[in-house]
């Protein structure tokens, strides 16, 4: 059950853009070596990933959104209408 | 009398059902209505759409008060899937609800229901630039770089006003004590609520349960693409466990232990600097 | 077994969202947004979603109450209005009309709110009128 849930959650978090920060491993009390290797490996992974993006999100800074709009996937009828040029500049931040 | 009106009339008369849930027009609004034997003449006014309410949710309310009631309702595909799930989760007894299947979309020119699939709303400019387009496919939502994906989802979640509309309208959300209201799980007293936890908790609960009816996304005043998120949830459930939510009468993968683990844990992620 | 759906308007704020009450055996058991209502298009805020709870709340005021010696006592309307009039008159006589303020509510009709401000301005003689939806 744990395995099912964790695997599911790993996929879901990856979809949201948070990958590699959740890990599951079974280690018996006799496997000291494996414990050390896993913890070291996971610490390394986390260090390489850097601080959690949740921190900057808490400050409501979404810096990684590219300015270019994503093309809408639906049929042409779903494309948004062209925006009239109001002359107002919307600050992107 | 249309054939459906005739059929409901007969069902009520013969006692096949005690109460029949469908719609009728009230002051120009299609509203749900419960047809009964005592007021059988009302079946003349029965319509099957175009609005869509969660009739199966009303059926569970009746069933919790009258466990032996025989309930009938008009059912689109999403209603039928929801009924399957509600039976699996013991909210309705098998065979308790009799359905008259109706079409969502009788003609290509005139969509019948207000389902977000049939009449999708185009996403606006700000949403395309900063958020997640609800009309995109799951594959498309996966193509953006992780960091951008994350920021776009967080932008969407940050609009949440914690109205609980997504949970209240959902035909398969029926818990007495909802996790979303537990102060130890979701902090209280601020807006937006704890993101992304609020939305992820609900997303996790929808695994093996959400039947992709889209009512939550319709009801969300902040226009958060919830349906897209839950579609991903059940795509994962299908990929990992081969379980198709709403399809039949088997229990979802998280509620049974299974005989033997057939999966192995994911290896540590070798992360390249994205 | 009697299930009814009653369309209505949310009374919590000036937006006026369309709601649908789910009435099972004469008891209000749920509130839903009205999908086709032009104001809210099937959406509600948390106040609208919980309308049935304030109708069923045991804390709801159902009778006029008068506070005497720190305790509320149930009285009839004539008595309650009489007490209110006496106290208002006394306060106005002692401190002037601007010592009185009138709070009206989104839970009343337009006409009742109009009447209340008229009462404040014309009868009492103050401009101290406020409203819960003056956000
Ligand atoms: S689409 Fe939304 S409302 Fe429908 S079952 Fe899934 S979570 Fe519930
Ligand atoms: S959000 Fe989760 S806990 Fe709350 S009602 Fe839905 S399934 Fe139950
Ligand atoms: S319906 Fe939308 S705004 Fe309301 S609680 Fe759900 S996600 Fe938040
Ligand atoms: S549902 Fe909310 S926004 Fe709508 S009228 Fe009621 S209080 Fe106002």
Tens of each residue's pLDDT in chain C, 135 residues:
889 999 998 888 778 899 999 999 988 999 999 988 999 988 999 999 999 988 888 888 888 999 888 899 999 999 999 999 999 999 999 999 999 999 988 777 789 989 999 999 999 999 999 887 664
Q: Select from A10, A13, A15, A69 the residue whose CB has the most chain B CBs within 10 Å, as the one to mutate to test that interface.
A: A15
Please check whether residues C14 and C31 belong to one and the same domain.
yes
**CA–CA separation, C40 vs C44, rounded Å?**
7
**CA–CA separation, A8 vs B234, rounded Å?**
10
A34 to chain B nearest CA, in Å?
Answer: 13
Task: Count other Cβ atoms within 10 Å, centred on residue B101.
Answer: 12
Contact of A65 with B155, CB cutoff 8 Å = yes
Range of the domain at C24: 3-56
Please check whether residues C77 and C49 belong to one and the same domain.
no
Contact of B65 with B12, CB cutoff 8 Å = no
Query: Token digits for C57?
Result: 């709340």
| Contact between chains at A65 and B124 (C-beta distance less than 8 A) | no
Assess whether chains B and C touch, using the rule of 3 or more C-beta pairs within 8 angstroms: yes
Query: Token digits for B194?
Result: 């704890």
Mutate to test the pocket of ligand 4, among C7, C8, C12 (most ligand atoms within 8 A of CB): C12
Name the nearest CA neighbour of B99 among B72, B77, B119: B72
ipTM value? 0.81
Domain count, chain C: 2
**What's the whole-model pTM score?**
0.79
Share of chain A above pLDDT 90, in %: 0
Q: Taking each helix axis from N to C terminus, what angle separates A2-16 and B226-241, rounded to the nearest 10 degrees?
A: 140
Alpha carbons within 13 angstroms on the beta-carbon side of residue C42 total: 22
Report how far Cα B198 is from the mean position of its chain's Cα atoms.
18
Q: Select from B169, B189, B190 the residue whose CB has the most chain C CBs within 10 Å, as the one to mutate to test that interface.
A: B169
Give per-residue pLDDT as tens, A36-77. Answer: 888 888 888 888 877 777 776 666 666 666 655 555 555 555
Length of chain C counted residue by residue: 135
| Contact between chains at B146 and A18 (C-beta distance less than 8 A) | yes
Whose tokens are 């009799």? That residue is B98
- Mark which of C32, C56, C80 sits at the end of a domain: C56
Domain boundaries, chain B: 3-101, 138-270
Please check whether residues C50 and C71 belong to one and the same domain.
no
Please check whether residues C25 and C71 belong to one and the same domain.
no
What pLDDT tens digit does each residue of chain B (274 aa) get? 778 888 888 988 888 888 999 999 888 888 999 999 888 888 888 888 778 899 999 999 999 898 888 899 998 888 888 898 888 888 888 888 888 888 775 445 445 566 777 767 788 888 888 888 888 888 888 888 888 888 888 888 888 998 999 999 999 998 888 888 888 888 887 777 888 888 999 998 888 888 888 889 989 999 899 999 998 888 888 888 777 777 776 777 776 655 555 566 666 654 443 3
A11 to chain B: nearest residue by CA? B236
Task: Count other Cβ atoms within 10 Å, centred on residue A64.
Answer: 19
Q: Any chain B CB within 8 A of the CB of A23?
A: yes
All chains having 3 or more CB pairs closer than 8 angstroms to chain A: B
Q: How far apart are the first and last CA of chain A?
A: 42
Please check whether residues C127 and C72 belong to one and the same domain.
yes
């Amino acid at each position: 059950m744990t395995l099912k849930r964790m695997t599911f959650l790993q996929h879901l978090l990856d979809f949201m853009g948070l990958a590699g920060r959740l890990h599951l491993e079974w280690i018996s009390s006799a496997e000291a070596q494996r414990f050390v290797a896993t913890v070291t490996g996971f610490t390394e992974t986390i260090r390489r990933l850097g601080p959690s993006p949740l921190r900057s999100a808490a400050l409501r800074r979404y810096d990684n959104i590219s300015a270019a709009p994503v093309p809408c996937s639906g049929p042409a009828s779903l494309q948004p209408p062209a925006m009239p040029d109001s002359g107002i500049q919307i600050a992107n931040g | 009398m249309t054939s459906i009106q005739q059929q409901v009339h007969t069902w009520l008369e013969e006692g096949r059902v005690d109460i029949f849930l469908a719609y009728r027009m009230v002051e120009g609004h299609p509203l749900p209505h419960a047809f009964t034997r005592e007021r059988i003449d009302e079946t003349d006014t029965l319509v099957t759409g175009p609005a869509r309410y969660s009739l199966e949710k009303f059926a569970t309310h009746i069933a919790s008060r009258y466990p032996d009631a025989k309930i009938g309702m008009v059912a689109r595909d999403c209603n039928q899937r929801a009924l399957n799930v509600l039976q699996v989760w013991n909210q309705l007894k098998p065979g308790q609800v009799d359905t008259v299947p109706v079409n969502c979309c009788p003609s290509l020119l005139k969509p019948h229901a207000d389902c977000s699939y049939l009449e999708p709303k185009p996403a606006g400019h700000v949403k395309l630039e900063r958020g997640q387009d609800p009309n995109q496919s799951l594959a498309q939502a996966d193509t953006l770089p992780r960091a951008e994906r994350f920021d776009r989802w967080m932008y969407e979640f940050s609009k949440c006003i914690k109205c609980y509309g997504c949970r209240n309208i959902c035909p398969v959300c029926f818990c007495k004590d909802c996790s979303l209201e537990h102060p130890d799980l979701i902090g209280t007293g601020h807006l937006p609520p704890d993101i992304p936890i609020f939305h992820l908790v609900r997303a996790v609960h929808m695994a093996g349960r959400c039947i992709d009816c889209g009512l939550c996304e319709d009801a969300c005043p902040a226009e958060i693409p919830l349906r897209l998120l839950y579609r991903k949830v059940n795509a994962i459930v299908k990929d990992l466990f081969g379980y198709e939510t709403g399809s039949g009468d088997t229990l979802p993968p998280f509620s049974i232990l299974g005989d033997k683990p057939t999966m192995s844990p994911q290896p540590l992620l070798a992360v390249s600097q994205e | 077994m009697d299930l009814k759906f009653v369309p209505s308007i949310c009374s919590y704020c000036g937006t006026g969202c369309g709601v649908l009450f789910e009435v099972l055996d004469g008891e209000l058991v749920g509130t839903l947004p009205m999908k086709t209502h032009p104001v809210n298009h099937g959406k509600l805020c948390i106040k609208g979603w919980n309308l049935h709870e304030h109708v069923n709340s045991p804390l709801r005021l159902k009778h006029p109450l008068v506070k005497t010696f720190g305790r509320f006592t149930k009285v009839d309307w004539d008595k309650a209005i009489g007490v209110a009039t006496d106290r208002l008159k006394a306060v106005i006589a002692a401190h002037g009309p601007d010592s009185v303020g009138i709070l009206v509510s989104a839970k009343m009709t337009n006409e009742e709110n109009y009447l209340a401000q008229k009462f404040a301005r014309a009868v009492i003689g103050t401009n101290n009128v406020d409203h819960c939806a003056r956000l």
